[in-house]
Structure 1
Amino acid sequence: HLLPGPEDIYVSQSQIRRFGLRTGDMVISQVRPPKETERYFGLLRVEAVNGLDPEAAKLRPKFERLIPIFPNQMLVLETKANILAPRLLDLIAPIGRGQRGLIVSPPKAGKTTILKQIA
């Protein structure tokens, strides 16, 4: 669940800036119990960010500033002339090398059959 709860840990803005923390980062750290006026555990020391040394994690490039590399080679799915599904995919929705895909379809529509024909 993503709602606030009593087991949440408070991370100060200065720690976020110091370690370059971003939404979704997995932080391994030491925490302290909340003081009388506090509601959450407090972050004491960051030991790792996403499995990396905190200093190395600070140097990660921002995703927004990365240069995209678009696929320039087509992945040909057609293998045999008598199997039509891969040929239709090549014609209607060509896939480039390195692309990711998502198959969205209701149950029992033939997703697994098409994947078997492609494989």
Structure 2
Amino acid sequence: PVHAGLSLAAYGFLGLAFCGALMYLLQEHELKSRRLGYFYPRLPSLEALDQLNSHCLAVGFILLSLGMVTGSFWSKQVSGTYWRWHPKEVCTLIIWLIYLVQMHQRFTVGWRGRRAAIMVILGFVIVVVTLWQVLR
């Protein structure tokens, strides 16, 4: 089904945002400690990592939203109802709400840098834990 592909792509982009956030915190730590170690010359600038984080978050959120919409239409065809309150659906809704808050904070309130990176990391940890619980 289309919704599964969209959701998989969404989690891929959210995973890239997670990686970008980890790299941001690593690069920031090296810069603040004033000991430029192994990672400093190998990682992009903080600004580039923050932009990567922002773009991947936005694309992942849009794909997740489309996955939820197409999934509800698929559910209607299969079970006769748009929403069944299945644990997978509820967990996806919770994940979507978490990323909705992140999108709001980033694009409306102006969260950038460290705070945004920490939020993306926490969000993705929740994604992994939630999906692991549902899919096992």
TM-score range, shorter chain: under 0.3
Relative to its length, the structure with more helix (as a share) is 2
Structure with bigger RCO (C-alpha 8 Å, 6+ apart)? 2
- Structure 1 or 2: larger strand share? 1
Greater CA radius of gyration, 1 or 2?
Answer: 1
TM-score normalized by the length of structure 2 = 0.19
